[in-house]
Amino acid sequence: MADGDKTSLADRVGEVGERVRNSQAWESIFRPGSPFKKGYTDSPRNRSYVIMNNVLYHLHPVKVKRHGVRLSYTLCLGGLSFFLFILLTITGIFLMFYYRPTVPAAYADIEALSTSVAFGSLVRNMHRWGAHLMVLTVFLHMSRVFYHGAYKPPREFNWVVGVVLLLLTLLLSFTGYLLPWDQLALWAVTVGSNMAGFVPVFGDQVKFALLGGVEVTGSTLLRFYVLHVLFLPFIIVIFMAVHFWRVRKDGGISGPL
């Protein structure tokens, strides 16, 4: 391009970008107040719109108490637990493409996933370590809430919901433990479900219902699989919805101390 030519490549790219952002299609995608919309300015009104007009952000209120934003107050533990749940959902869906919950196939599928699927090993590792991390963050979140006295009225019931969420997290992790169908999985679940057998009066029935038999078998594998990928996520999402909703309705974040 000649030196005297005024339209450089950068100018042209900028021009195209400008035209795209002026287009009706682009305008239609973003709701008013979106920072991606043309002419967005930082104003109190637009700050509200960013939250109110976005399906994801709208989980948040428009404003929060100043102390709640401090990292040292929550350490993001509740939010990270939720984020890890999303991360586990995404990696879990990936794993479901390569896994069959049957005794002859399960172990081989996991082996194949680790060796012959692109990023298979990485995603499986993320799923497993992420699950451990989620148990940890949920537990730490509960401890944080306790030390801040955030379970006190009007938040008592949300604490109960939170304990249910912790239990569901443990169950999700536990049911996932069996799925690789290796020695670790088999015997860890055997030990765990033996504990369920100690339930007074109904011990044997509880264990039978959990395992789909008197001991860990192929039907246990299928049972745990369905619990792990459908039933428990379904339940936990309902409880999470209630949990988050109550956080808002009970007056937002607790404190300050």
Partner 1 sequence: MPDIPEHLLRRSAEARAEALGVPLEQVLAEMGLTGEGETPPATLEEVTLPVQPANPDTTIPEDLRAREAAARQAAVDEFEAKATPAPPASPVVTGAPEEPAPVVEVPAPVVEEPAAVVEKPAAAAAAAAGSKIPEALLRRSAEAKAKATGRPVEEILAEMSGGAPAEPAPVVEVPAPVVEEPAAAAAVAAPPTGEPTAPAQAPAPDGDRTTTITAPPVAAPQGTPEGVRPQRLLTVVRAKAIQQVKAEPTDKVSVWPHLLLIEFVALLGVTAFLTVLSVILQAPLLDLANFNLTPNPSKAPWYFLGLQELLSYFDPQIGGVMVPTVVGLIGVMAIPYVDRNPSTKPSDRKFAIMFFTFFLVASATVTVLGVLFRGPGFNFSYPWSDGIWFDDLKDWISFE
CA dist 134 and 70 (Å) reads 22
Assess 255 for contact with partner 1 (CB under 8 A): yes
Assess 181 for contact with partner 1 (CB under 8 A): yes
Assess 95 for contact with partner 1 (CB under 8 A): no
**Under DSSP, is residue 31 helix (H, G, I), strand (E, B) or coil?**
coil
> Which residue in the set 92, 95, 150, 223 belongs to the binding site for partner 1 (CB under 8 A)?
150
**Under DSSP, is residue 179 helix (H, G, I), strand (E, B) or coil?**
coil
Among the listed residues 229, 242, 227, 96, the one whose alpha carbon sits nearest the alpha carbon of residue 161: 242
**Under DSSP, is residue 10 helix (H, G, I), strand (E, B) or coil?**
helix
> What is the footprint of partner 1 within residues 118-147 (CB under 8 A)?
121-130, 132-133, 135, 142-143, 146-147
> Over the Cα atoms of the chain, what is R_g?
25
Length of the chain: 257
Nearer to partner 1, 26 or 206 (CB): 206
CA dist 151 and 228 (Å) reads 29
> Which residue in the set 71, 72, 97, 118 belongs to the binding site for partner 1 (CB under 8 A)?
71
Assess 93 for contact with partner 1 (CB under 8 A): no
Assess 66 for contact with partner 1 (CB under 8 A): yes
Site string for partner 1, 218-247 (x = CB under 8 A): ------------------------------
CA dist 4 and 14 (Å) reads 19
Assess 64 for contact with partner 1 (CB under 8 A): yes
Nearer to partner 1, 107 or 231 (CB): 107
